[in-house]
Structure 1
Amino acid sequence: MNDQDIKNLSTDAVNLAGTCAARYVDSIRDKRVFPTQSDLDALRNFDEALPQNGTAAIDVLQQLDLYGANATVATTGGRYFGLVVGGATPASMGASIMNAAWDQIAIMENTAPTAIHLERLAAQWIVDLLHLPNDGSVGFTTGSSVANLVGLAAARNALYENLGINIEECGLTNAPPLQVVLSEQAHVTVHKALKLLGFGTNQMIKVPCDSQGRIKPNALPEIGPDTIVCLQAGNVNSGAFDPFAEIIPEAKQKGAWVHIDGAFGLWALASPDKKHLAESAWLADSWAVDAHKWLNTPYDCGITICRNPKAVHEVMTTVAPYLTSSENVPPKDMVPEFSRRARGVEVWAAIKEMGQEGISDLINRCCNHAITLANGLQELGYEIVNDVVLNQVVATIGNPDDIKAIAKFVQDEGECWFGTTVWQGRTAIRLSVSSWATTDNDVKRTLESIKRATESVLK
């Protein structure tokens, strides 16, 4: 194979992929939100034993387009309300395609100059948007699962250092146990991060919450310099925020480390209309947030922010003779991943595309859609069981089996998609509005689908 052959193969593959991707995006608003059973059955066309011989790149991509595209979930189309999933803005989606073609290893300047430059700029824009310390560590991870891990790892090591224990040398053997104070409704990713860091359940004190899932400050245990306090910005069901202003100053005064899991809710700080919900969040020591949620970058992208860069770097730094030194701390020393994609490129593109006002408008628009959905559900006879303060709507009607049947009806119809949850002991539907692509008409169509489902199930 000569140089021209290699060039032609790569160019033809990228051109075909671009054509298929453009066709997919062009039809996304008319696509079923969840695939049909026949679309899912067609995935069997991929099933084969390990190929002994290669297949032309064009044929591989055509197979992906033919059998794969129809079996995807239309999360970018405007009517996907499951989990808390944002869409992908046009610029961030395009940047992701370009980023794939660049295929940079975003660990330091001499492996990816453009990517690292854009990541540093995006990092500064993020802390400006969220009004967080601008001299901290900002790293790009796969999502809040790892972003929480980074913040909590920094907390663990920093608290032990303050207690005169260097666990980098001695490990956790014979180290006195730290205390972790967290909400009884803390997200599962916080629990996962704590387990990975060696915290046992006996070290975790789960604090009772009020009817909206907010920690009750008067139920907090004694807090000291051996304590990590995990708070939440945006309860995954209700969207509520822990009372930061009541908890953080006192916890900090007593020497504790405060970490905030703000996967989607922390973006409220980017909206002048909603930032009061996260009052005093900036006083914490570390924060986790997702770009692939409310900033609407493509999957995957989490962001970990820490007030004390040294605490992060001492846990995450990697040293090897083949790694060159840098005037600035390289991305490889801010997150666990060594080899990783340049996620910050898409973050830069999304912020550049929308600007501060556009991001604020996105947050407010989603929240307004949530209120419209809640009002429409009430008109259909549903009880809204959360205070709709952000982008989350939890509603119930009938009995648990009715709720599950209604959700299945809507999912099977394909007009929109949302799931069920159990909130305060009650089975309910949960809608999360997080996409820039959601319009008033999408909300209208969603309510009409729910109406058809409700009338069919409760007839």
Structure 2
Amino acid sequence: MNDIELLHEAARLAVEYVAGTDGRPATPDAAALAGLDAFDEPLPDGPTDPSDALRLLSEVADPATMVSTGPNYYGFVNGATFPVALGAAFLVNAWDQNAALPVMSPAAAKLHDVARGWLLDVLRLPGHADVGFVTGATVANASCMAAARDELLERAGWDAKSDGLFGAPPITVVVGENTHSTVRKSLGLIGLGSDRVVKVLTDDQGRIDHTELPTHLSGPVLVCAQAGEVNTGAFDPFDEIADWLAATTDNGWLHVDGAFGLWALADPSRTHLVAGLHRADSWATDGHKWLNVTYDCGIAIVAREGALRRTFSSVAGYLPPERGFEAMHHTPQSSQRARQVEVWAVLRTLGRSGVAELVQRASDGAQLIAEQLRGADFDVLNDVVINQVLLRYGSAATTEALIAEIQRDGRIWCGATQWRGETAMRVSVSSWKTTLDDAARAADVIVECARRLTPHE
């Protein structure tokens, strides 16, 4: 098998996998998991037939995958993959472009410019904002907050990039008590401390209670708000937070973690959820969640032009003069794949109305699941405003047993979370393939699994 034949074979196996996902259970069975032991072999002493590697991947790894690309996966807010995104990924991988600089990939640079404009358009964010494509929401949050750190300190007379943080004016970081773990991780990464924060009380949906925002702050202030609380899908009161920040300090920055919830901006029917969201200084989101491109694709958006470049630009004698958008000077990584190509392909295929319909359909599916389960003795713990359903079935212990039974059953997959100190079940409707019929079947599976539990459970 020559090189081209090998690539045709790989494409054939990939297409066969995609074609079979709709009819497969969401989780692999015990035999498939046991089969992974076939990979426990010594490193060959010399070259082997590359077609054998493809065969082993197809025969052994494929059956042991979580079928998150199908309609029956409801865990971790994982999106599936639009066919056009997968096709674009095939091309991007074949091109093997380093998207760091236009001189390395004129095509990637051009598609960045177009995808950036379309993203800001569909999300109704300021057209002048800078956009960087990174690995995921963790790095997107860290990138935005690093830019915030440097901007706040520059206003206070400190050059953080040159002089570091030793001796710098302190930045007060304000978060809700339900802030996502990736925000805390990002704060640690950029030197502001994951626990050195002012935590604000939240309401029964996990939204910041703006009446509990601190008073008498001084110096630079960074506020981290949420668009889409990870369990309930709730949105912080952005207008009230922005008003408080403006009244509290003349050196403030409002950042929004919108890993999946930011896409509600694309749906005109959800303007009540996103009121004031445009007043933020930066936003972080993922393409591999609700936009359903392949892993991995995070997106950092900063309203202040030049802020990302100030933080991430690098100098080397071999780098050419600036020619258009230079990705390596706007993100933490230098070498990087052209994630923007898949984003461009999906946005071009769906258009503005298609992205709105994507958000609406998933949210409608979540509401349908909640309605069916309310009628089957489940406690729905959240106001289902977008694609998240938070459930408890009887006690926390019974809920844990139910989750284990659902995962053992395997037809769908959803997972556990902690809510108000007790176990709950989280159902995330994120796949473009999940129809209302699929959502109704998922609710039926959950009820069926619940009925199989013994009274003691």
TM-score by length of 2: 0.96
Shift in Å at residue 332 of structure 1? Answer: 0.8
Alignment of 1:47-196 (within 5 A): 47-196=40-189
Alignment of 1:9-20 (within 5 A): 9-20=2-13
Structure 2 CA distance for partners of 1:358 and 1:201, relative to 1, 3 Å:
closer
Q: 1:231 aligns with which of 214, 221, 225?
A: 225
Structure 1 residue identity aligned to 2:119:
I
- Residues 376-407 of structure 1: CA deviation (Å, up to 9, x unaligned): 11111101010111110011112222112211
Structure 2 residue identity aligned to 1:388:
V
Paired with 2:218 and 2:439, the residues of 1 have a C-alpha distance of 47
Shift in Å at residue 150 of structure 1? Answer: 0.6
Structure 2 CA distance for partners of 1:15 and 1:221, relative to 1, 3 Å:
same
Find the counterpart in structure 1 of residue 257 from structure 2: 261
Shift in Å at residue 202 of structure 1? Answer: 5.8
- Would the aligned equivalents of 2:172 and 2:219 in 1 still touch at CA under 8 Å? no
- Would the aligned equivalents of 1:224 and 1:256 in 2 still touch at CA under 8 Å? no
Find the counterpart in structure 1 of residue 270 from structure 2: 274
Give 3-state SS (helix, strand or coil) of 1:140's partner. Answer: strand
Paired with 1:245 and 1:37, the residues of 2 have a C-alpha distance of 50
Structure 2 residue identity aligned to 1:335:
T
Q: 2:404 aligns with which of 396, 404, 408?
A: 408
Paired with 1:215 and 1:353, the residues of 2 have a C-alpha distance of 36
- Residues 64-106 of structure 1: CA deviation (Å, up to 9, x unaligned): 1010100001111111000111111111111111111111111
Q: 1:438 aligns with which of 423, 428, 434?
A: 434
Structure 1 residue identity aligned to 2:391:
A
Find the counterpart in structure 2 of residue 241 from structure 1: 235
Residue ranges of structure 2 left out of the alignment (5+ in a row)? none
Alignment of 1:205-354 (within 5 A): 205-222=198-215, 223-253=217-247, 254=249, 255-354=251-350
- Would the aligned equivalents of 1:370 and 1:433 in 2 still touch at CA under 8 Å? yes
Find the counterpart in structure 2 of residue 360 from structure 1: 356
List 4+ stretches of structure 1 deviating above 4 A: none
Give 3-state SS (helix, strand or coil) of 1:268's partner. Answer: helix
Structure 2 CA distance for partners of 1:203 and 1:425, relative to 1, 3 Å:
closer
Paired with 1:266 and 1:37, the residues of 2 have a C-alpha distance of 38
Structure 2 residue identity aligned to 1:96:
A
Paired with 1:206 and 1:326, the residues of 2 have a C-alpha distance of 42
Find the counterpart in structure 2 of residue 391 from structure 1: 387
- Would the aligned equivalents of 2:113 and 2:325 in 1 still touch at CA under 8 Å? no
The worse-fitting range, judged by mean Cα deviation, of 277-286 and 252-261 is 252-261
How many equivalent residue pairs? 452
Paired with 1:412 and 1:105, the residues of 2 have a C-alpha distance of 42
- Would the aligned equivalents of 1:178 and 1:203 in 2 still touch at CA under 8 Å? no
Paired with 2:49 and 2:345, the residues of 1 have a C-alpha distance of 33
- Would the aligned equivalents of 1:260 and 1:284 in 2 still touch at CA under 8 Å? yes
Paired with 1:330 and 1:201, the residues of 2 have a C-alpha distance of 30
- Residues 235-260 of structure 1: CA deviation (Å, up to 9, x unaligned): 00000000001111331452311100
Shift in Å at residue 172 of structure 1? Answer: 1.0
Shift in Å at residue 110 of structure 1? Answer: 1.4
Find the counterpart in structure 2 of residue 4 from structure 1: none
Paired with 1:380 and 1:102, the residues of 2 have a C-alpha distance of 52
Paired with 2:271 and 2:424, the residues of 1 have a C-alpha distance of 28
Residue ranges of structure 1 left out of the alignment (5+ in a row)? 1-7
Shift in Å at residue 144 of structure 1? Answer: 0.5
Shift in Å at residue 443 of structure 1? Answer: 1.4
- Residues 144-173 of structure 1: CA deviation (Å, up to 9, x unaligned): 100000110011111110001112222111
Shift in Å at residue 129 of structure 1? Answer: 0.8
Structure 2 residue identity aligned to 1:387:
D
Structure 2 residue identity aligned to 1:66:
E
- Would the aligned equivalents of 1:232 and 1:261 in 2 still touch at CA under 8 Å? yes
Shift in Å at residue 421 of structure 1? Answer: 1.3
Give 3-state SS (helix, strand or coil) of 1:66's partner. Answer: helix
Paired with 1:406 and 1:13, the residues of 2 have a C-alpha distance of 45
Paired with 2:7 and 2:91, the residues of 1 have a C-alpha distance of 10
Shift in Å at residue 47 of structure 1? Answer: 1.1
Paired with 1:128 and 1:307, the residues of 2 have a C-alpha distance of 13
Shift in Å at residue 114 of structure 1? Answer: 1.4
Paired with 1:325 and 1:318, the residues of 2 have a C-alpha distance of 12
Give 3-state SS (helix, strand or coil) of 1:390's partner. Answer: coil
